Amino acid sequence: MEKEINTYVNKFFDKFQFPIDSIEVIKQKEDIYLIKIKSLESKLLIWTHWKNLRDIEYIIKILISKNISEKIKIHLEINDYIYNKDLQLFSYIDEKIKQVNDTWKDYKLGFLSAYERKKVHSYIADLKNKNIFTKSIWEGNQRRLYICKKSDNITIDLDWNDI
């Protein structure tokens, strides 16, 4: 399967004359493949806010799905851009977790894409820190992610509204 995917990816980049130095297809799970591309023109391939990267990934998914009978998922990585971006995000999240632990105040993160919010939720859950949790509030493009500290305090409803 890796060779077939590699063939279609090579055809795509040849057709559009994108300068690619190397393509590597790695099977991550049963139906998930990582396509790692090295190129000196990574800025053109990624563009602002990964717009071109996501568009290219989408087109390659369609190209492969039309030619391969199996249902697969692909992730496109250009010059380890997403990997490095994730490292920066997780480093930032680690700082905010420490801040929440120290101050006991929830921290509202800036606007993140749905993909980034999912990564942060998963990252914090994987830490298995019983004192820290995440929550998302609002809907659509107003959705915000909070890093929170669990409190051992017992809360009492003094006005009896929730009893």
Report the CATH number at residue 101. Answer: 3.30.1370.50
Q: Please state, in angstroms and rounded to a whole number, the distance separating the CA atoms of residues 125 and 150.
A: 13
Residue 131 DSSP symbol = T
Averaged pLDDT, 73-77? 86
pTM of the prediction? 0.64
Domain boundary among the residues 45, 63, 79 is at 79
Cβ atoms of residues 107 and 120 within 8 Å: no
Average pLDDT value over all residues in the chain: 84
Residue 159 located in a structural domain: no
Averaged pLDDT, 99-125? 88
- With a cut of 60, say whether residue 118 has pLDDT above it: yes
Residue 46 located in a structural domain: yes
pLDDT at 80: 85
Show the domain range for 72.
Answer: 2-79
Residue 1 token pair: 């399967």
Structural domains of the chain, count: 2
Please name the residue that has the structure tokens 């420490």.
98
pLDDT at 1: 84
